[in-house]
Structure 1
Amino acid sequence: MRKPPIIHAVRDVGPSRFLRAEQIDLEFSNGERRTFERLTGEGPGAVIVVPMLDADTVLLVREYAAGVDRYELGLPKGRLDPGETVEQGANRELKEEVGYGARRLTPLHELVLSPSYMTNRAHVVLAQELYPERLPGDEPEELEVVPWRLSELHTLLGRADVSDGRSIAALFMAREYLAGRFRP
């Protein structure tokens, strides 16, 4: 297992290139007034890709997560580029992070990390009929690709390096879709 990067300093920089804060003055139907704050994102959103190597094998990636200062095991994901469709963005992220493209891409659902105070949306996309193809990505180091049996999803949940709620939700959606119990 790789050692996490060293944190030399942490400072508040205000708005970032990904998020900005805004206040919203609201009045509810009962007359109550409140000011809420929310984080808003820039651009067309993001994708989370569930790449299926075969009917039961999903490809996960191990990537450094600065928010928790450790390597996390989860699904490939990333921001959509301006003008990209959800399917185009999913296939690009798949090629950059996993080294595969997909002949079949199925949008399953849209997730919001914390709908109470964030506007960012991530589209969950099932990727099937994979073929080897790699595009250069923007990651600072090559990501480790880890095959995992979808039928063993319950054992993945107990791992200390699996905590991304979006990846967990997307894996369950894909499992239920593939079993015929969920249709988008």
Structure 2
Amino acid sequence: MTAKKPPEGSDFTETTVSSTLAYDGGFLRLRRDSVRLCDGNIAWREYVEHPGAVMMLAFLDPETILLERQYRYPMHRHYLELPAGKIEANEPHLATAKRELVEECGYEAAEWKHLASLHTCIGYANEVIELYLARDLTHVGTQLDEGEHLETFPVRIEDALSWVRDGIITDTKTTFSLLWWDKWGNR
């Protein structure tokens, strides 16, 4: 059965009148744009420019994935997350996924598949995270970036899903990806 397409709806497209770089932090940039609304009025839009990222559902075996425990400064606490990393300038998404899996987890994968594109914060950022499946892993040793501190560990995917339900895993990208896999991944 084919899913019904969503309705087209009205066009609320906003067009850029002017764009100002309000802050350039190297990794993230903050823009403040003047836009013309569909009714002709002018409004301001502030948003974060992000280079994009990848994330991996890396399977050690059919029931076991890799998770990471990492301290996230903005929230001042540790989080459990799927392995992920930012895309370098002009780097293909799959190349980023392969690089990050080695750097953070110490594994290479023989099988790769793109699963989904996640638009994480559409109200205030243009970040897109590309979700990949990685299987048939071979351990080659980690190569963490300087200043990067994290722990990688295996977990049964059913336990990770329970941790989502119990509020232990609260990272949105990880939560969504685990639930996506549970609903559609192993079909």
Do both share a fold (TM > 0.5)? yes
**Residue identity matched to 2:53:** A
**Residue identity matched to 1:101:** E
2:165 is aligned with 1:173: no
Give the structure 2 partner of residue 84 of structure 1. Answer: 91
Deviations 1:105-140 (A, max 9, x none): 111111122101101211111111111112422153
Deviations 1:18-53 (A, max 9, x none): 111112222222334311111112x4x211111111
- Is the contact between residue 108 and residue 173 of structure 1 (CA under 8 Å) also seen in structure 2? no
2:42 is aligned with 1:38: no
Aligned pairs for 1:32-181 (under 5 A) are 32-41=41-50, 43=51, 45-138=52-145, 140=147, 142-158=149-165, 161-180=168-187
> How many residues are matched?
165
Identify which range, 136-145 or 15-24, moves more after superposition: 136-145
**Residue identity matched to 2:125:** M
Shift of the alpha carbon at 1:162? 2.3
Cα distance in structure 1, aligned partners of 2:46 and 2:173: 22
Greater Rg over alpha carbons, structure: 2
Deviations 1:65-89 (A, max 9, x none): 1111112111111112233221111
**Alpha carbons of 1:165 and 1:139: their partners in 2 closer, same or farther (altered >3 Å)?**
farther
- Is the contact between residue 103 and residue 128 of structure 1 (CA under 8 Å) also seen in structure 2? yes
Larger RCO: Structure 1 or Structure 2 (Cα < 8 Å, ≥ 6 residues apart)? 1
Q: Percent identity among equivalent residues?
A: 27
Cα distance in structure 2, aligned partners of 1:25 and 1:141: 37
Cα distance in structure 2, aligned partners of 1:120 and 1:145: 24
Cα distance in structure 1, aligned partners of 2:127 and 2:149: 26
TM superposition score normalised by structure 2: 0.79
SS at match of 2:101: helix
- Is the contact between residue 67 and residue 155 of structure 2 (CA under 8 Å) also seen in structure 1? yes
Cα RMSD (Å): 2.0
Shift of the alpha carbon at 1:159? 5.2
Unaligned stretches of 5+ residues in structure 2? 1-22
- Is the contact between residue 161 and residue 178 of structure 2 (CA under 8 Å) also seen in structure 1? no
**Alpha carbons of 1:95 and 1:119: their partners in 2 closer, same or farther (altered >3 Å)?**
same
Cα distance in structure 1, aligned partners of 2:181 and 2:116: 10
TM superposition score normalised by structure 1: 0.80
Unaligned stretches of 5+ residues in structure 1? 1-13
SS at match of 2:61: coil
